[in-house]
Amino acid sequence: MTETGRHVGILGTGSYLPEKVLTNADLERMVDTTDEWITTRTGIKERRIAADDETASDMGAAAARNALANASIGPDSIDMIIVATITPDNYFPSTACLLQHKLGISDVPSFDLSAACSGFIYGVSVAKQFIRSGHAEHVLVVASEKLSAITDWSDRSTCILFGDGAGAAVLGPVDNGGILGEHLGSDGSGGDLLYCRATASRVNGPHGVSPVAVNTLQMQGNVLFKHAVRLMTDAALTVIKPLGIKTDDIKLIIPHQANIRILNAVGKKLGIDAETQLYLNLEKRGNMSAASTAIALAEAVEEGRVEKGDIILLDAFGGGLTWGAMVIQW
């Protein structure tokens, strides 16, 4: 879907990572695995783990404060809050409402959005519609995940992948550029490939103690791999072609940090220069579901990898199945 009319862009980004670092060496002492096995298959060396009493709203609020500061916008200028998460503090009230209170914001619509790893792109797309229509001027989009709370720490095929953290973006009108187009999709027939029956992360056990089986993430990795490569590639091509953009025009592709093999395969299918065009923080962050793309974007901006006028592509795939790609001119 391409856009005309009022330009909407990202005015500021921010991120937050918990202090605790869980390395592959730590995992070697927890399950039957090795650093070499994890690294060669996933590209991950370490990931962050939230404190037992640290919630998605806590992490999201910290990332939001950083994004507001980066955008030079006060909390009182925010007209709406969207939180993308699959690990909410509670079933209800929403994590967005709790985060709103922690930021000292009141009287604005706030709600959660569940689209797994595609959640940040979904959230930015929704925010854009409200700003374009004139129903909001500034929208705060936060992606925050405490995946450690729904991980089976005895399952070596999944516990090596996931980490915790939060990313945020402030959206508003811009003079030109901004979000040029996006493509979102879903296929519920693949819902049993990646799921968790219960996800209220606030009430699950401390890190290292797996919740009961019904509360842990379940994944069919081999099947998901094929879907991820195909759908992330298709989503990227679907959004750039109507815009007349070629992959060579893209300064940086910021994908969901799922697995190095998936990302390398997508890069190869798109024909990009992975060394210069593909942004990766997977090695030190792991897979943080919705927060992955948001944090990677914030870190890329902080590192100076994204500058005014650059064309960037966000690309994600996750449980649902869901997927999404978005082109932004910074």
For 199-245, the pLDDT digits (tens) are 666 666 566 655 666 678 787 877 788 888 999 999 999 999 999 99
Q: Is 256 a catalytic residue?
A: yes
Q: Which two tokens stand for residue 322?
A: 């869901």
- Taken in order of first residue, the domains within the chain and their CATH numbers are 1-330 (3.40.47.10)
Smallest Cα–Cα separation from 233: which of 319, 327, 119, 316? 316
Give the active site residue among 24, 70, 259, 287.
Answer: 287
* pTM for this predicted structure: 0.94
Q: Which two tokens stand for residue 328?
A: 């932004």
Give the active site residue among 117, 138, 183, 207.
Answer: 117
Q: Is 287 a catalytic residue?
A: yes
Stated as kind and residue range, the H or E segment containing 184 is strand 178-186
229 alpha carbon, distance to own chain's centre? 17
Q: Which two tokens stand for residue 96?
A: 């967005």
Q: Is 117 a catalytic residue?
A: yes
Q: Which two tokens stand for residue 61?
A: 């609020």
Give the active site residue among 215, 256, 259, 281.
Answer: 256
| Side-chain-side CA neighbours of residue 19 (13 Å) | 4
Cβ atoms within 10 Å, residue 156:
15
Residue-wise pLDDT for 20-47, tens only, equals 999 999 999 999 999 999 999 999 999 9
d(CA 60, CA 165): 8
Regions in the chain scoring below 70 on pLDDT: 1-5, 199-214
Question: Residue 3 corresponds to which amino acid?
Answer: E
Q: What's 68's DSSP letter? A: H
Q: Which two tokens stand for residue 139?
A: 């929208």
